[in-house]
């Protein structure tokens, strides 16, 4: 591997100078794997994920079997997608018109689809990355594909680490599908199950939904219990 030239007379080049060095270097030494990774990192630090993805796509074509390179490319693609969502969301807030709202819907859909594409590819390469089922479930939830989201969450319901969050999201899906009794069961699993105690934030969110359910269905004893449980967490 050809070494990337540096400025010997100084402790470290500025980020912009280093970026320019790498951009020039890769034109003359286009097979320098580490150079691509460093340049992509600089682009990401400069909040330029589109440029990072472009560089990493070039590197992936040169090193198609390099899984760490592919992972970094996917990270840049995710970063670009969420950057677009944030930009469009800010624009929609400022303009407040139907055209901006339409663009926000499109950006939200693109962000969800990007997560689906990346996470499914990663699970296909490595099925042991089970936590990605949660990300897939959230993306499908954002796309209003609630039945599919619940199917995606099934592998996590026996996980000590991820089951509370999975049950919470399943409960939200069931509520939107008007499956109130099923939702109540899922939300109880997320909030008051003794075998697996979830994070306080997850349990609180589930209990608030349970309180709403109990109020709507006139379950007074359950309502009191959920309120006391929520107060205990607070």
Report mean pLDDT in 10-residue bins for the chain, 234 residues: 48 76 94 96 94 97 96 97 94 85 93 98 96 97 98 94 96 98 97 88 97 96 96 90
Domain presence at residue 31 = yes
What residues have CB less than 8 Å from 158, skipping those under 6 apart? none
pLDDT at residue 6, rounded to an integer = 52
Say if residue 97 is in the same domain as residue 173: no
Say if residue 81 is in the same domain as residue 161: no
CA distances from 144 to 5, 86, 170, 190 (A): 51, 20, 13, 21
Residue 95: other Cβ atoms inside 10 A:
12
Say if residue 107 is in the same domain as residue 170: no
Say if residue 87 is in the same domain as residue 178: no
Contacts made by residues 215-218, CB under 8 angstroms, sequence distance 24+: 216/180, 217/180
User: CA-based angle 163:182:162, to the nearest 5?
Assistant: 5
Q: What is the CATH number of the domain that holds 108?
A: 1.25.40
Say if residue 162 is in the same domain as residue 219: yes
pLDDT at residue 12, rounded to an integer = 46
pLDDT at residue 5, rounded to an integer = 52
Domain presence at residue 1 = no
Domain presence at residue 203 = yes
Is-contact 132 145, C-beta < 8 A?
no
pLDDT at residue 160, rounded to an integer = 86
Say if residue 30 is in the same domain as residue 110: yes
* Distance of alpha carbon 52 from alpha carbon 40, whole angstroms: 4
pLDDT at residue 130, rounded to an integer = 95
* Distance of alpha carbon 121 from alpha carbon 136, whole angstroms: 11
Say if residue 16 is in the same domain as residue 111: yes
Quote the domain boundaries for residue 169. 157-234
Domain presence at residue 67 = yes
Is-contact 6 19, C-beta < 8 A?
no
Domain presence at residue 219 = yes
**Residue 3 three-state SS:** coil
- Domain total of the chain: 2
Domain presence at residue 136 = no
pLDDT at residue 92, rounded to an integer = 87
DSSP 4: P
* Distance of alpha carbon 18 from alpha carbon 206, whole angstroms: 49
Is-contact 123 115, C-beta < 8 A?
no
Say if residue 193 is in the same domain as residue 106: no
Q: The tokens of 99 are what?
A: 């055209």
pLDDT at residue 196, rounded to an integer = 82
Domain presence at residue 106 = yes
């Amino acid at each position: 591997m050809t070494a990337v030239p540096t400025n010997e007379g100084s402790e470290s080049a500025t980020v912009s100078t280093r970026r320019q060095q790498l951009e020039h270097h890769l034109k003359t030494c286009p097979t320098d794997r580490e150079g691509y990774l460093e340049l992509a990192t600089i682009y990401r630090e400069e909040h330029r994920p589109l440029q990072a993805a472009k560089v990493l796509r070039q590197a992936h074509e040169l090193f198609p079997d390099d899984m760490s390179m592919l992972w970094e490319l996917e990270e840049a693609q995710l970063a670009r997608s969420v950057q677009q969502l944030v930009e469009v969301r800010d624009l929609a807030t400022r303009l407040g018109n139907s055209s901006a709202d339409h663009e926000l819907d499109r950006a939200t859909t693109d962000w969800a689809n990007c997560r689906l594409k990346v996470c499914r590819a990663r699970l296909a390469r490595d099925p042991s990355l089970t936590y990605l089922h949660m990300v897939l479930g959230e993306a499908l939830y954002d796309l209003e594909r609630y039945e599919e989201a619940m199917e995606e969450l099934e592998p996590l319901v026996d996980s000590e680490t991820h089951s509370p969050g999975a049950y919470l999201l399943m409960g939200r899906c069931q509520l939107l599908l008007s499956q109130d009794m099923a939702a109540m069961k899922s939300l109880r699993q997320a909030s008051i199950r003794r075998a697996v105690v979830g994070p306080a934030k997850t349990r609180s969110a589930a209990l608030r939904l349970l309180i709403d359910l109990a109020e709507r269905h006139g379950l007074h004893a359950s309502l009191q219990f959920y309120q006391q449980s929520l107060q205990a967490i607070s």
